[in-house]
Amino acid sequence: MSAHRTSVSRRAAALGALALAGSLLAAVPAQADGSPSAAPSAGSTPTGDGAKSICKRLPKTEQHVTKAITRLNGDATVGGSVARLQQRADNAKAAGHTEIEKLLNDRLTARKGLLTTLQTRHTDLDAVATWCAAHDQGTTK
């Protein structure tokens, strides 16, 4: 039985070495030709502000932000809500689990900050939607 275990571990080691060698060889050709297309130019700068793309993605972006704000503002029965995390922190305090309470309160602080950020983003997106409508979805100046 010992010989079988040895052969299995040798095969596993050989496969690991083969996988490492293959990944190293796969990376070399991308760098070996020296062409400018092999790597992005560090000195290039954007030529526009991406308004057309932003206007195109605006409905989906608004949908994601609205959904996140709705979830965060939900009651204690909604997973991911501020109220649910507050309830968990209160439960940890009542149970005397001070380390858990501290962790949950730190997460609660971050989640409240996220809610503020998303509300600001939602306001910004409303202004962008108005701009996009006035400028033919970002195709005119």
- Summarised one tens digit per residue, pLDDT across range 11-63 is 666 655 555 555 555 555 454 455 555 555 667 887 888 899 999 999 999 99
Rounded-to-integer distance, Cα 121 and Cα 4, Å: 61
Each residue of 87-101: pLDDT tens digit?
999 999 999 999 999
Of the ranges 6-10, 27-31, 104-108, which one carries the lowest mean pLDDT score? 27-31
* Predicted confidence band of residue 10 (pLDDT cuts 50, 70, 90): low
CA-closest candidate to residue 73, choices 104, 38, 114, 107: 114
Locate 77 and state its tokens. Answer: 């029965």
Residue 59, SS3 per DSSP: helix
Residue 85 makes CB contacts below 8 A (sequence gap 6+) with 104, 107, 108, 111
Rounded-to-integer distance, Cα 76 and Cα 103, Å: 18
Evaluate if residue 84 carries a pLDDT over 70: yes
CA-closest candidate to residue 74, choices 62, 89, 61, 86: 86
Please state the φ and ψ torsions of residue 81, each to the nearest 5 degrees.
-80, 155
For residues 15 and 73, which has the higher predicted lDDT (pLDDT)?
Answer: 73
pLDDT for position 45: 84
pLDDT for position 139: 82
pLDDT for position 47: 82
CA-closest candidate to residue 106, choices 118, 89, 121: 89
Evaluate if residue 79 carries a pLDDT over 90: yes
pLDDT for position 43: 74
Rounded-to-integer distance, Cα 69 and Cα 46, Å: 32
Evaluate if residue 116 carries a pLDDT over 70: yes
